[in-house]
Amino acid sequence: MKIFYSDTHHHHYPSFEVFDGGKRVPYLENPNRIDQILGALQKTNWAELTPPADFGLDPIYAVHDRGYIAFLESAWREWLALDPEVAAAPNEHAFLPATFALRRTPRVPGALLGKAGYYMMDLSACIVAGTYEAILASANCALSAAEFITRHSSSFILHAKRSSFALCRPPGHHAGKDYAGGYCFINNSSVAANWLASKGKVAILDIDYHAGNGTQDIFYERSDVLTISLHGDPDFEYPHFIGYADETGAGDGLGFHKNFPMPKGTGDEEYLHALDEALNMIKNFAPNYLVMPTGMDTFKGDPLGTFNVTREGFGEIGKRIAALGLPTVIIMEGGYANEALGKNVVTLLENFK
């Protein structure tokens, strides 16, 4: 199985983040997550690690606002120039705003901190010196995985489950058209899905614990991409303001988006029941390609989740999705129980190799 990976992700490693209530904690979305997955993959006899190609910015601009991408590219340099204290000890700081836009007007402020509050949804999307380089590499991993399955489409008759895995970091599904949030800056899955949409119909099945709000934002009015998200109910869980069951698309996209919000304590049986309904929707849509934003934070005991999905559950989830027989791009999102993360990922991926 082709695994697209870049060690550039190590360049994005903020020294802290800010939790609810203002608590400052070590950055939970850290490089050790990917190191754990790599370690588990390297113990298999089927994982083929491959560096991503550089697709340039055009596939990213096709999904994200150009002003937003320009902000991500320049924010750290501008912050260093504005604050001598940060410039003197850059490794001890991360760029974050203190004021956030309510989006009641479309005006983008000219000041750096004003732009930050406009383009950032929360305090988890910390920007440091290597962030921009890391997010571009992450997007290129997703695009390379997408390009791989199209290049090998002629082999699908013999290998119905031919798939690829983009080991992306930072993750992406919380990033909207013009905002970062939830550790996400570029929506890797949406960039890959939009690229694939020029070649055929695409379904996105998001199995991360948190609602894929950014993906919903990007495709909400489109009918060529079916978007589905299984997640913790936003009534109690991040991102709170999006991901409800009555959000089903708008305009041309009406009926082409589906949220499955689920309660605390959801285990294997309940999760698989919702998954089966989602899979039936995908079968009826009859896509040419499947993009699968994949988080392991549904795992029992994950520090950012409240579900009780087991490792055996991940195996069954992978088995049922792979049974669709679709060319599938699996894209890494969340999962923060680091000691179990690698084995959980391998357990799911084994169904697609």
Residues recognised as catalytic: 174
Query: Residue 269: which residues within 8 A CB-CB, separation 6 or more?
Result: none
Q: Give the burial string for 201-234 (b: 16+ CB within 10 Å, else e).
A: ebbbbbbbbbbbbbbbbbbbebbbbbbbbbbbbb
Cβ within 8 Å of residue 337, ≥6 positions away: 296, 297, 299, 301, 302, 303, 344
Token couple for 320:
């049922």
Strand 17-18 relative to strand 24-25, pairing:
antiparallel
Q: Is the distance from CB of 124 to CB of 182 less than 8 angstroms?
A: yes
Nearest to 65 by CA among 174, 240, 186: 186
Q: How far is CA 272 from CA 236, 244, 276, 308, in A?
A: 21, 19, 6, 12
3-state percent helix, strand, coil for the chain, nearest multiple of 5: 40, 15, 45
List alpha helices for the chain, DSSP H. Answer: 31-41, 58-61, 66-82, 84-88, 112-119, 131-151, 188-197, 213-219, 268-285, 311-322, 338-349
Report the interhelical angle of 311-322 vs 338-349 (nearest 10°). Answer: 30
Burial class (CB in 10 A: 0-12, 13-18, 19+), 198: exposed
Give residues with Cβ within 8 angstroms of 40, minimum separation 6: 341, 342, 343, 345, 346
CA 185 vs CA 44, 122, 126, 317: distances in Å: 31, 11, 10, 27
Q: Does 106 sit behind a cis peptide bond, omega within 30 degrees of 0 on the bond before it? A: no
